[in-house]
Structure 1
Amino acid sequence: MPRFSVVIPMYNKADYIQRSVHSVLQQTLVDFELLIVNDCSTDKSLSRAEKIEDSRITILQHEVNKGLSASRNTGISNAKGDIITFLDADDEWKPNFLAAIDTLARKFPDCDIYGTDYEEKINNHTVIPVKNLPKAVRPNQYVKIEDFFTASLFNPIYCYSCVAFSRKALNKIGNFNTAVDIGEDLDFNIRANSQFKLAYYYKACAIYYVDIPNQMTNSTIRNKKLIDFKKFDRQAESHPGLKKYLNASRYYYASQYKNQRNKALFKKFKQDIDFSALSFKQKVLLECPFWMYQGLKKLKAFLIKRGIKVTPF
């Protein structure tokens, strides 16, 4: 049985899939299987993946397009490894990623979630997003994160191209929620980190490729099924970190609907936000007139294209 099962969900990633797969095959730790889940790609993704010859690769096919969550679930259900990890088909790992996860699992046997830091690649510029980690945590350290939700208030401390789970944890957490189109990672993060401890390597071991501008577009958020934050509100009453995490997430979705000029949904998310927990910049963005908001967004996009990432925190 392999130590690791690597799951790559694939849908129309012909330009990137070979880069992602090769980054797995170049890992210094070689005890893994690689499961590529083809979610009915209509481009050349499948043919390009099939050209890569390695006995550790298995390609799984969906008969109909099911989406990202279902693709991850298919990978999990077919995985044989002790630890299951994911890589998006347009991202890549650095050669030490699996070795770092293995070190975390051995160093912190009471943890069942293992993550590393990541780089964002924006128009050939490399940015490492700011994390809200405790001051005592230093770069290159292997640490246990006591409160994932507080640590992820500014930016997620891991993305789904640099996190792994023990089989025991996945059996208890359950599948990714296929009823959610936008926010499936957030939903899974809450369920996972509410039940299990996280071990973390504070060094970027994955590269997350970001589109410009770095936000959900109208075409991706409109008419999508969003996570129901309210189902976590009762739990958050006894967990201050989770309460802040939910509030920050509500702010994020409200800002996206403001960007679309969707007044009804903007109001729906805004009314549940605790403004006392927002930064000054966040308050300004929510309350300012649309012409000012649009101007600030254009300025942000301009800066990102030049490798300067600004945040509302």
Structure 2
Amino acid sequence: MDISVVIPTYNRANLLPKAVKSVLEQNHQSIEIIIVDDLSTDNTKEVIASFQNEKIKYVVNSRAKGANGARNTGVLMAKGKYIAFQDSDDIWLPTKIEKQLKYMEENTEVDMCFCSLNIDDFSRVVPNRKVESEEIHAQLKRGNFISTQTIFVKAEIAKEILFDEKLMRFQDWDFCLRLSEKYKVHHIDEVLAVAEVQNDSIGKQVNQAEALKQFFDKFPDLKDENLITKSFQHFVVSHRDKKNGNMFLSNIHYAKYFSYQFIDKVFNRRNRL
């Protein structure tokens, strides 16, 4: 078995079949699929059973751990040489695993590779250009451009890094930032995955300012790292002041947030992903 595919899910019985089918239809078939159910209350179990496929391993968390905890359950169960992550509402193109495996086997010094992602709702590709290996960590200090479902990583490294189960959001940013600090990451400049943003996705449910504050509490040096993260910090402070009823200060920080974003867009156009 070459690859373990980890799919966390929670009440996505209506969407899960499409995601699982896109994994089962991969050109490369030496895989196991670990679906980790975070205590769903819908008919997820029946939907998975309907596949009747020996490649699929279905496990239910003993307690609700969130998407990060569900991914970690899958990572620790994985028996493959490499681990790839799929989300229960996204799809992979048929050549994704084949091309990422080939790249890793031909470039053995690389510890993780990722592909480009087509975000369907926004009709855009992330990242929007080739990201050279020597710039990846620095670019991650500006913001995230590596989505979980594009990651293909050596299993022993995934089991070392793991996902931070305390984070309410930005788990992929945190995972890649920590990993790229110690290990070699490469970008395959080709769209091999498609994301379909749902109304109940974490990004739409969790307050962005609160999630950014939590992220910066973990990485305090990032607050002043560059124009982008400075803008994020002003966004956080603006939200805090608004919550405290100080609309004057809130508006000032919100204006600074837009100003830093605009300046970066003008002067760092080539760096934007």
Normalised by the size of structure 1, how large is the TM-score? 0.71
Identity of aligned residues (%): 21
Decide which of 160, 168, 172 is 1:181's aligned counterpart.
Answer: 168
Deviation string, structure 1 residues 176-226 (Cα, Å, up to 9, x no partner): 111211222222121111111112210100001124799944x42289665
Give 2:262's aligned residue.
Answer: 280
Residues 1:200 and 2:190 aligned together: no
Residues 1:158 and 2:138 aligned together: no
Instruction: Answer yes or no: is the 8 Å Cα contact 2:15–2:88 preserved in 1.
Output: yes
Unmatched 5+ stretches in structure 2: 266-271
Give 2:231's aligned residue.
Answer: 251
Give 1:18's aligned residue.
Answer: 17
Give 2:135's aligned residue.
Answer: 147
Deviation string, structure 1 residues 95-137 (Cα, Å, up to 9, x no partner): 0110111122022211101100010111xx7432453646xxx
1:73-222 residue pairs with structure 2 within 5 A?
Answer: 73-122=72-121, 126-129=123-126, 131=128, 133=130, 145-152=133-140, 156-173=144-161, 175-211=162-198, 216-217=203-204, 219-221=205-207
Separation in structure 2 between the aligned mates of residue 49 and residue 215 of structure 1, nearest angstrom: 22
Q: Secondary structure at the residue paired with 2:225?
A: helix
Instruction: Answer yes or no: is the 8 Å Cα contact 1:131–1:157 preserved in 2.
Output: no
Separation in structure 2 between the aligned mates of residue 97 and residue 275 of structure 1, nearest angstrom: 37
Instruction: Answer yes or no: is the 8 Å Cα contact 1:10–1:88 preserved in 2.
Output: yes
Give 2:269's aligned residue.
Answer: none
Instruction: Answer yes or no: is the 8 Å Cα contact 2:117–2:125 preserved in 1.
Output: yes
Instruction: Answer yes or no: is the 8 Å Cα contact 1:233–1:243 preserved in 2.
Output: no
Separation in structure 2 between the aligned mates of residue 169 and residue 72 of structure 1, nearest angstrom: 14
Normalised by the size of structure 2, how large is the TM-score? 0.80
Instruction: Answer yes or no: is the 8 Å Cα contact 1:111–1:199 preserved in 2.
Output: yes
Separation in structure 1 between the aligned mates of residue 189 and residue 72 of structure 2, nearest angstrom: 28
Comparing 148-157 with 203-212, greater Cα deviation is found at 148-157
> Which residue identity is paired with 2:231?
Y
> Which residue identity is paired with 1:206?
A
| Change beyond 3 A, Cα 1:275–1:18 | closer
Decide which of 216, 219, 222 is 1:229's aligned counterpart.
Answer: 216
Instruction: Answer yes or no: is the 8 Å Cα contact 1:104–1:200 preserved in 2.
Output: no
Separation in structure 2 between the aligned mates of residue 221 and residue 275 of structure 1, nearest angstrom: 17
What is the deviation of 1:250? 5.8
What is the deviation of 1:145? 1.5
> Which residue identity is paired with 1:33?
E
Deviation string, structure 1 residues 288-307 (Cα, Å, up to 9, x no partner): xxxxxxxxxxxxxxxxxxxx
Give 2:268's aligned residue.
Answer: none
Unmatched 5+ stretches in structure 1: 135-143, 284-311
Q: How many pairs does the alignment contain?
A: 262
Instruction: Answer yes or no: is the 8 Å Cα contact 2:28–2:98 preserved in 1.
Output: yes
Separation in structure 2 between the aligned mates of residue 254 and residue 192 of structure 1, nearest angstrom: 27
Instruction: Answer yes or no: is the 8 Å Cα contact 1:87–1:160 preserved in 2.
Output: yes
> Which residue identity is paired with 2:216?
F
> Which residue identity is paired with 1:59?
Y
Higher share in helix: 2
| Change beyond 3 A, Cα 1:256–1:214 | farther
> Which residue identity is paired with 2:177?
I
Residues 1:9 and 2:8 aligned together: yes
Instruction: Answer yes or no: is the 8 Å Cα contact 1:5–1:81 preserved in 2.
Output: yes
| Change beyond 3 A, Cα 1:37–1:171 | closer
Instruction: Answer yes or no: is the 8 Å Cα contact 1:132–1:152 preserved in 2.
Output: no
Q: Secondary structure at the residue paired with 1:206?
A: strand
Separation in structure 2 between the aligned mates of residue 249 and residue 146 of structure 1, nearest angstrom: 20
RMSD of equivalent CA atoms: 3.8
Q: Secondary structure at the residue paired with 2:59?
A: strand
What is the deviation of 1:50? 1.7
Give 2:27's aligned residue.
Answer: 28
Residues 1:45 and 2:44 aligned together: yes
